[in-house]
Amino acid sequence: MLNFLIFVFMGLENHIATLLYRYQCVVVPGFGAFLSQIKPACLQRDSNTFYPPYKEISFNAQLDKNDGLLVSHMAHLENASYEATLQGVEASAKRWNDQLRAEGLLEFPQLGVFRLSPEKKILFEPADRTNYLLSSFGLSPVIGSPVAREVMKEEVQELEEHIPFTITPEKREVRGLRPLLKYAAVVLLAVATGLSGYSLYQQGLETKSVVHAAAQEEVSKNIQEATFFNADPIELPSVTLEVFHKRQDVHHIVAGAYRIRKNADKRVRQLVSKGYPARYLGQNAYGLHQVVFASYADPEEALEDLKEIRARESKDAWLLSKH
């Protein structure tokens, strides 16, 4: 047991660091709790360094009650009992507290440094070498190089001041005239093209108007030559139509409702064999298959037959009316 307690003390820091990757809070019974909070990516302007998102680790000595997370994790990995593992963790926590009170310093490379203040309060400084945020795995800080645009501009201006150069006036005039002539030729060509296009467009409109007018004249001529009103009227034979009103059977004498469709069909065959115009009506709101003795459009006729069916066939028959 003593060897196991020493082993727990030596490996407790590694177990805490492992759990911080997955959980926000890891409690060490008798010592305190390591808390993590996700921080977004940031830029440190004094060093031009970009830091990826990370978990910020803090410590709270007041949360020292066992929540079972650390002990259960260690007991499972070390293949030991829960009680023995809890004793080992508590023994490790006691040794940490004794060392902190005696030396005033307790350091863990993966977690951070503990110090004891003059007021006997525990101060914790987290280690910045480990990022416990899994989504930032493999990301490291990046140092950005500033873009020196103004410095380059000043250097170019300084070089222009120290480089001598001369320009011949005659050549400068010729070089300046040629681009103007090119621009003038382009403008004249564009104007000429636009005028030609506009002329063709106008001619097309005039041609279209002439064709349209000729077509209108031909249509008017055909209409005037038509002899609709000069022809003898056509006598059509008289047609007699008979209007039938569709009968709506909205009143049904229900014989029963069945959960299984096969039973409903069997009931329909039984009633038909007895002479009833029975049929399958469908499912009701409760999913039951309904069978009816008969359906009626006249409610008084349905009530009369319902009395006879109750007296002769089934006392459970009832009238269903749908509107």
Q: What is the 3-state secondary structure (H, E, C) of the chain?
A: CHHHHHHHHHHHHHHHHHHHCCCCEEEECCCEEEEEEEECCEEECCCCEEECCEEEEEEECCCCCCCCHHHHHHHHHHCCCHHHHHHHHHHHHHHHHHHHHHHCEEEECCCEEEEECCCCCEEEEECCCCCCCHHHCCCCCEECCCCCHHHHHHHHHHHHHHCCCCCCHHHHHHHHHHHHHHHHHHHHHHHHHHHHHHHHHHHHHHHHHHHHHHHHHHHHHHHHHCCCCCCCCCCCCCCCCCCCCCCCCCEEEEEEEECCHHHHHHHHHHHHHCCCCCEEEEECCCCCEEEEEEEECCHHHHHHHHHHHHHHCCCCCEEEECC
Q: At 259, is the pLDDT very low, low, confident or very high (cuts 50, 70, 90)? A: very high
Residue 282 Cα to chain centre, angstroms: 41
Read off the pLDDT of residues 20-56 as tens digits, 9 standing for 90 and up: 888 999 999 999 999 988 888 878 777 777 778 878 8
In a domain, 189, yes or no: no
Percent of the chain residues past pLDDT 70, beyond the cut: 63
- pLDDT of residue 225 exceeding 60, the answer is no
Read off the pLDDT of residues 155-200 as tens digits, 9 standing for 90 and up: 666 666 666 555 555 554 445 556 666 667 666 666 666 666 666 6
> Region 5-34: what's the mean pLDDT?
82
Amino acid letter, residue 163? I
pLDDT for 56 equals: 87
Neighbours of 262 (CB within 10 A): 9
- pLDDT of residue 227 exceeding 60, the answer is no
Which range, of 41-45, 113-117, 130-134, 184-188, averages the lowest pLDDT? 184-188
**Domain range holding 312?**
251-321
In a domain, 290, yes or no: yes
In a domain, 191, yes or no: no
Greater model confidence, 6 or 249? 249
In a domain, 229, yes or no: no
Domains in the chain: how many in total?
Answer: 2
Mean pLDDT computed over every residue of the chain: 78
pLDDT for 265 equals: 95
Task: Report pTM.
Answer: 0.42
In a domain, 116, yes or no: yes
pLDDT for 226 equals: 47
> Region 299-319: what's the mean pLDDT?
91
pLDDT for 229 equals: 44
**Contact status, residue 294 vs residue 256, Cβ threshold 8 Å:** no
**If you search the block for the tokens 């329909």, which residue do you land on?**
268
- pLDDT of residue 141 exceeding 70, the answer is yes
In a domain, 68, yes or no: yes
Domain boundary residue, one of 143, 159, 194: 143
Task: Tell me the CB-side half-sphere exposure of residue 225, using CA atoms within 13 A.
Answer: 6
In a domain, 228, yes or no: no
- pLDDT of residue 241 exceeding 70, the answer is no
Which residue, 101, 163, 127, 121, is CA-closest to 13? Answer: 127
d(CA 311, CA 291): 19
pLDDT for 2 equals: 46
Domain boundary residue, one of 124, 143, 162: 143
Q: Give the angle 273-278-283 at the CA atoms, nearest 5°.
A: 135
Domain boundary residue, one of 105, 126, 143: 143
pLDDT for 231 equals: 46
* CATH value at residue 270: 3.30.70
Q: At 272, is the pLDDT very low, low, confident or very high (cuts 50, 70, 90)? A: very high
Most confident of 146-160, 220-234, 245-259: 245-259
In a domain, 45, yes or no: yes
**Contact status, residue 255 vs residue 271, Cβ threshold 8 Å:** yes
Read off the pLDDT of residues 47-84 as tens digits, 9 standing for 90 and up: 777 778 878 889 999 899 998 899 999 999 888 999 99
pLDDT for 139 equals: 74
Quote the tokens at residue 146.
């500033």
